[in-house]
Amino acid sequence: SVLDADKQKVTIVFKKKKMCDCCRLSSFCGKGEESMIISNPGLDLNPGDQIEIAVNENKNIQANILAFLLPALVFLATLVFSPSNSELFSFFLAIFLVCLYYILLKIFMKRFNKYFEIKIVKKVT
């Protein structure tokens, strides 16, 4: 629902449990917060209005690739191409690199917060 609105920006409030629990990326994208400010697409909104929001589907696919496919590839590539002959060392190196990948992903997601843009589709009556 709308908490505050003007012609350029809208502050929306939503329950993380309802909106983000089904998404495994809620901890990475930062959109699982209780409230956020998004751009107003030109709708006449007042506090308390109910709205429908959407995330770009292409961005959702990109998010899944960033969060799941690339770390798996980093892990497998490290195991296969590790310069060490020790399997245990290669395993721990792969775990370390995947952890490093997720830390860097978290940092970049905070820096480029607009990457996964949420927009208002319509006002619900």
Residue 18 reports pLDDT greater than 60: no
Residue 99 reports pLDDT greater than 90: yes
Q: What is the pTM of this model?
A: 0.57
CA angle 84, 90, 96 (to 5 degrees): 130
User: How do residues 63-94 score in pLDDT, each as one tens digit?
Assistant: 788 889 999 999 999 999 988 889 999 999 99
Name the nearest CA neighbour of 12 among 43, 67, 51, 42: 51
What's the whole-number average pLDDT of the chain? 80
- pLDDT on residue 19: 56
Structure confidence at residue 124 as a pLDDT band (50, 70, 90): confident
Amino acid identity for residue 39 in this structure: S
Name the nearest CA neighbour of 15 among 28, 40, 32, 36: 32
Q: What is the mean pLDDT of residues 88-109?
A: 93
Residue 3 reports pLDDT greater than 90: no
| Residue 123 tokens, joined | 């006002």
- pLDDT on residue 36: 76
